[in-house]
Amino acid sequence: MGPRVSIWFSVFVFALIASSIYAEEAESEAESKEHVVTLDHSNFDDVVGKHDFVVVEFYAPWCGHCKKLAPEYEKAASILSSHDPPIVLAKIDASDEANRQIGTLHEIQGFPTLKIFRNGGKSVQEYKGPREADGIVDYLKKQSGPASAEIKSTEDANNLITGKNIVIVGVFPKFAGEEFENYTALAEKLRSDYEFGHTSDLKLLPSGDFSAAGPLIRLFKPFDELVVDVKDFNLDTLEKFVEETTVPTVTVFDKDPNNHPFVVKFFNSPNAKAMLFMNFTNEAADALNTKYREVAEQNKGKGISFLVGDLEASQGAFQYFGLKEEQVPLIIIQTNDGQKYLKPNVEPDHVASWIKDYKDGNVSPYKKSEPIPETNDEPVKVVVADTLQDIVFKSGKNVLLEFYAPWCGHCKQLAPILDEVAVSYESDPAVVIAKLVRFIRVLV
């Protein structure tokens, strides 16, 4: 009897071990499973076409930002695969020659770019949410639901309207009719930029005129007038109202992520861009900021957008524009044709008069330039910003000009070749071979 028990016990132990090994393998397989769907030119249209909602990352394997996003994107895809209904996250290597046409079709300018495809790809919107897993999940859950959330209680209203973001709320006696349909169309079109809600009870909202009669649209924002109403439900008028009302009189450029969407909007504006850079903690900051805001108010709607940037957060801007900290506080204006105008060490009383001088054409453009070289007798001539016109555009000669960066490996490889070309044309007075250093930096 003893041996028989021993055999059955051994079988039991073996079964337990096998079960444990199988469970570990299954768990390992589940962990290794990729939840992000890989697309290419052969399946892109099919995958997008059969989903009502799918997010696609256009990436390049060599892109550092793409590599940083990859684990967050995969984690979000894993979580959203259990959503009801599941939310599909996909990716396509847009740098692959075979997929280039898809990238061109969707106007991919850089990597990574995320886009939301709705209704089988009939509607395409930019993804404008966070780049970490939890933020991606929260953003896409909202984006995959109704464009406008119904507000049924003060709790609903307070959860939506936090005072830190722009929220647009439609107030209607009933959720039907032309006004409601136009509002819904607005929400669907702009849902990737703003949050939308609708209610039949104006008194549920946290602020504004509670005696106003609907239907109306109430816009909440964390700057300037905190609450603005509109009653014109023409769709074009509504879009213009939202576009104009959601731009701060003065955009704040600092390390607060809540301000970043407004900074992006500022730099995407077609207006000339006035930027005041200063130390926010300086004792004179309040007086300067007050004068600057007054000028911004006076110039609202006149083709100039205004931004104030904290020195600590603006190092990228300083490198881009070639500015120096000893020039702070300073104002720089950049126009759409690339011209820049600079007022260093500005004082509060200087702001209004200098902006007026700029508008009247009485301020000379500022040039970021390396010093003019004392000698310029090498075969490849050195061009700086202050000599560009004379050597290149006004010389009447045929000029081959290289724009280069000293740290660029490809530029270093080209240098001896350019020297050879320059030597071969050294006796030709009609030809100039030259180089101009360019430092490219990201501003925001």
Region class of 208: left (phi > 0), else alpha (psi between -120 and 50), else beta:
left
What pLDDT score does 388 carry?
A: 86
- More confident site: 151 or 193: 151
For 251-301, write each residue's pLDDT tens digit: 999 988 888 889 988 998 889 999 999 999 888 899 999 999 999 999 998
Q: How confident is the model at residue 323 (pLDDT cuts 50, 70, 90)?
A: confident
Q: Which CATH architecture has domain 250-360?
A: 3-Layer(aba) Sandwich (3.40)
What pLDDT score does 439 carry?
A: 53
Phi, psi of 267 (to 5 degrees): -75, -20
Whether 129 has a pLDDT exceeding 60, the answer reads yes
Residue type, 7: I
Q: If 0-12 CB within 10 Å is exposed, 13-18 middle and 19+ buried, where does residue 97 land?
A: exposed
Active site residue 408: yes
Whether 17 has a pLDDT exceeding 50, the answer reads no
Q: How confident is the model at residue 167 (pLDDT cuts 50, 70, 90)?
A: very high
> What is the dotted CATH code of the domain comprising 149-246?
3.40.30.10
Instruction: Please state the domain extents for the chain.
Output: 37-144, 149-246, 250-360, 381-437
Q: Which two tokens stand for residue 142?
A: 């909202």
Q: Looking at residue 172, what DSSP letter applies?
A: -
Q: What is the pTM of this model?
A: 0.67
Mean pLDDT, range 312-336, rounded to an integer: 87
The Cα 439–Cα 98 span in angstroms is 33
Q: Looking at residue 408, what DSSP letter applies?
A: -
For 402-443, write each residue's pLDDT tens digit: 999 888 888 899 999 999 999 999 999 999 999 998 754 434
Active site residue 316: no
What pLDDT score does 32 carry?
A: 53
Choosing from 408, 423, 430, 444, the catalytic residue is 408
> What is the dotted CATH code of the domain comprising 37-144?
3.40.30.10
Q: How far is CA 310 from the centre of its chain?
A: 19
Residue type, 136: I
Q: How confident is the model at residue 343 (pLDDT cuts 50, 70, 90)?
A: very high
Q: How confident is the model at residue 14 (pLDDT cuts 50, 70, 90)?
A: very low
Active site residue 66: yes
The Cα 179–Cα 235 span in angstroms is 9
The Cα 292–Cα 307 span in angstroms is 9
The Cα 204–Cα 153 span in angstroms is 6
**Element (DSSP H or E) covering residue 190:** helix 178-190
CATH class as words, domain 381-437: alpha beta
Mean pLDDT, range 126-139, rounded to an integer: 93
Choosing from 37, 63, 235, 437, the catalytic residue is 63
What pLDDT score does 174 carry?
A: 94
How far the first Cα of the chain sits from its last, in Å, is 80
What pLDDT score does 116 carry?
A: 96
Helices (H), 35-85: 44-49, 64-80
Three-state DSSP class for residue 165: coil
Which stretch of 32-46, 54-68, 167-181, 343-357 has the lowest confidence by average pLDDT? 32-46
Whether 3 has a pLDDT exceeding 50, the answer reads no
Which stretch of 277-281, 334-338, 357-361 has the lowest confidence by average pLDDT? 334-338
Q: How far is CA 130 from the centre of its chain?
A: 10
Whether 444 has a pLDDT exceeding 70, the answer reads no
Q: Which two tokens stand for residue 361?
A: 């054409």
Which stretch of 48-57, 348-357, 433-442 has the lowest confidence by average pLDDT? 433-442
- More confident site: 170 or 259: 170
The Cα 180–Cα 187 span in angstroms is 10
Q: Is-contact 433 421, C-beta < 8 A?
A: yes
For 116-125, write each residue's pLDDT tens digit: 999 999 999 9
What pLDDT score does 284 carry?
A: 86
What pLDDT score does 301 carry?
A: 86
Whether 131 has a pLDDT exceeding 60, the answer reads yes
Choosing from 230, 411, 414, 421, the catalytic residue is 411
Rg, Å, the chain Cα set: 30
- More confident site: 389 or 332: 332
Write the DSSP assignment of 90-102 as a string of letters: EEEETTSGGGHHH
- More confident site: 16 or 123: 123
Choosing from 66, 80, 328, 391, the catalytic residue is 66
What pLDDT score does 391 carry?
A: 92
Three-state DSSP class for residue 336: coil
Whether 349 has a pLDDT exceeding 90, the answer reads yes
Q: Is-contact 332 275, C-beta < 8 A?
A: yes
For 219-247, write each residue's pLDDT tens digit: 999 999 999 999 999 999 999 999 989 99
Region class of 361: left (phi > 0), else alpha (psi between -120 and 50), else beta:
left
Average pLDDT, rounded, for the chain = 89
CATH fold match for the domains 250-360 and 381-437:
yes
Active site residue 411: yes
Q: Over pLDDT 70: what percentage of the chain? A: 91
What pLDDT score does 369 carry?
A: 65
**Which is nearest to 49 in space by CA: 139, 159, 123, 154?**
123
Mean pLDDT, range 67-94, rounded to an integer: 96
- More confident site: 379 or 369: 379
Q: Over pLDDT 90: what percentage of the chain? A: 72
